[in-house]
Structures are given as C-alpha cells and as structure tokens.
C-alpha cells in the first residue's frame, strides 16, 4: 500500500464530520456539509487514481468537481427563494 492509498483511507474519516454537519442544524448548515463532502470526495478520487496508477481515473474527480459545483449552486438558489 503506497502513501496515496493510505492517505485516501485516512481521508475517508473526514467524511464523518461532513455527515454529522449534514444531519443536524438548519437546512443551510446542512448544505455546507454537503458542499464540503463534495470537495473531500473529489480529492479522495484523485488520491485513489494516483495510488492505483490509473491516470484515466482522474476524470472521475474532475466530473465530480464540476457536478458538485452545479449541484451546490442549484441547492443554494432553491433554498434562497422557494424552499
């Protein structure tokens, strides 16, 4: 197991506080937990693809970064006015 795979295993524990933040508090506070989780998982995918030595897997991280950006914006927009 190289340092990238070990680091990604430790990084999984960063999702626990994000989950806690997403399960309690106001709806806007939950959204912060979701946005943070999106960023953490993006970095996690990057570290996994580097650890496994597959450059093509970087596309997963890039796709997740773009999609979590769109998703976060849509959530923020809807929570601002309609929900």
Partner 1 sequence: MSAATIAVEVLVWVAVLTCLICCLGIVVMKDFFERLHYMATVSTVATVALLIAVVIQQGWGQAAIKMSLIVVVLFLMNAVLTHATARAARVRELGHWQPAPDEKIEGLDQITEGRHQR
Q: How far apart are CA 26 and CA 69, in angstroms?
A: 21
CA torsion sign for 51, 55, 56, 60 is positive
Cβ pair 8, 44 in contact under 8 A: yes
Any contact of residue 76 with partner 1 (CB under 8 A)? yes
Any contact of residue 59 with partner 1 (CB under 8 A)? yes
Residues at the site binding partner 1, with contacts judged by CB under 8 A: 3-4, 7, 10-11, 13-18, 20-21, 26, 28-29, 31-33, 35-36, 39-40, 42-43, 46-47, 50, 55, 58-59, 61-62, 65-66, 68-69, 72-73, 76-77, 79-81
């Amino acid at each position: 197991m190289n340092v990238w795979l070990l680091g990604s295993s430790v990084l999984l524990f960063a999702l626990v506080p994000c989950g806690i933040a997403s399960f309690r508090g106001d709806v806007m506070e939950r959204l912060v937990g979701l946005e943070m989780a999106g960023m953490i998982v993006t970095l996690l995918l990057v570290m996994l693809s580097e650890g496994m030595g597959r450059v093509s897997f970087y596309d997963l991280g890039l796709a997740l970064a773009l999609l979590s950006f769109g998703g976060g914006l849509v959530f923020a927009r809807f929570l601002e006015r309609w929900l």
